[in-house]
Amino acid sequence: MRTIEAYTEEIDDIDAAAEELFAQVSGFELAANSLAILFAEEDTDYPELYARLSRHWDFPVIGCTAMAILSGKKGYCRGGISLLILTADDCRFTVGITGELKRDSYRDEIARLYNELKAQDKDEVKLGLCYFGIAVKDQELSGSNLLAALDAAVNGLPLYGGAASDNLDFTGYRVFCNGTAVRDGLVLALISGNVSPRFLRINSVEHTASFSYEITRAENNVIYRLGNDSFVDTLKKEGMRVDKEDMMAAYILSPFVITVDCDGNGDRIEAARILATLDLENGSGSFLGVMPEGAALGIGLLNREDVCHSVETAFERIFDEIGKSGGEYSALLCSSCSARFLALMNDPAVEAQTYLGRLPEGLSLSGYYAYGECCPVQGEKTGKEYNMFHNFTFSILAL
């Protein structure tokens, strides 16, 4: 597989944006099969952009909106459009997108999409790339819901991607597939053939507060009771904020941490979750991921130093693995949590500074800040990889 990256700051003049992207990949020779992964700020007219791109290219394009972009060439980019082209004679790319997903039908719709794509390629699928929108405000579907539905359909296939993001207004995010842009939908690309993906996920939460309770009543992504008290009453008892319903901004740097049991085989995975809203009438709290009954709930402390340390560790490890592979890898896809972005507001370029000037020759990098990350993670006991929805992480896929 070979790759090339392009980036433009232009979003107002779509013709000019397309021409800039074309110019940057001019002379790059395409193989038999190609795929483009595109991240763009929310004001981009994506359908119009695809119309321009498709006049020159007949390969599929997938992606999503992004509150900020990570580029291998430019580093940190607050806006603009990023494009990564993957091309190979010995890999195949099959893509599709759902419609707007609803609570009563999302499982069937996601399974239908996967089965439809899998039927188009009889070879063994090695990887799924997925980007999706999550209903942050009304909490219809959490990121965990969507990933769990996809994980059930793909039967062990590793999945990488994340949730579309916007300028923190939670109204402008969309996912893209060819000429289609959908808000609360899911786009999926299956990759088969000669590809060997490697994954790396680094948790930002290195310190926790003296806050630990058992979740005694929960449903999906909503916690009703901790121990003998309601969720809201427990926060009050601990002297924490409960003065309004929309609490994401108040708790974005104080993630709630749970330990998840996997498959009943003794494997355990620690995950962090963002508190989105409080219901002050029934005393519950809604999160961006599933909160299982019986889990121990703590609260983490996120700071700039931990974020910087985690991304440095991530790139040290992935560069080491790539070096040992003998140059077989040509692309890095990255996703970083929006909470990390907020923790770095005084210097948001610090994550990109970790890799700028250090990328090996021929290695492209493209990434974005997400409202949640999708990346396989190893269980503590067996080492088995589980597809999981994350918050507060930095993740890397090497291809």
Q: How confident is the model at residue 319 (pLDDT cuts 50, 70, 90)?
A: confident
260 pLDDT more than 80: no
Distance CA 371, CA 355 (A): 22
pLDDT of 204: 57
User: Per-residue pLDDT tens for 45-73?
Assistant: 999 999 999 999 999 999 999 999 999 98
DSSP bridge partners of 69? 77, 368
User: Per-residue pLDDT tens for 191-233?
Assistant: 999 999 999 887 656 655 678 899 999 998 899 999 999 999 9
Top pLDDT among 260 and 377 is at 377
Q: Give all domains of the chain, ordered by start, each with its CATH number.
A: 2-202+306-378 (no CATH), 207-301 (2.40.30)
Distance CA 162, CA 65 (A): 11
Distance CA 96, CA 227 (A): 44
Distance CA 170, CA 355 (A): 29
339 pLDDT more than 90: no
User: Per-residue pLDDT tens for 268-284?
Assistant: 777 778 888 899 999 99
Distance CA 285, CA 223 (A): 5
Among 1, 72, 70, smallest CA distance to 35 is for 1
The DSSP call for residue 171 is: S
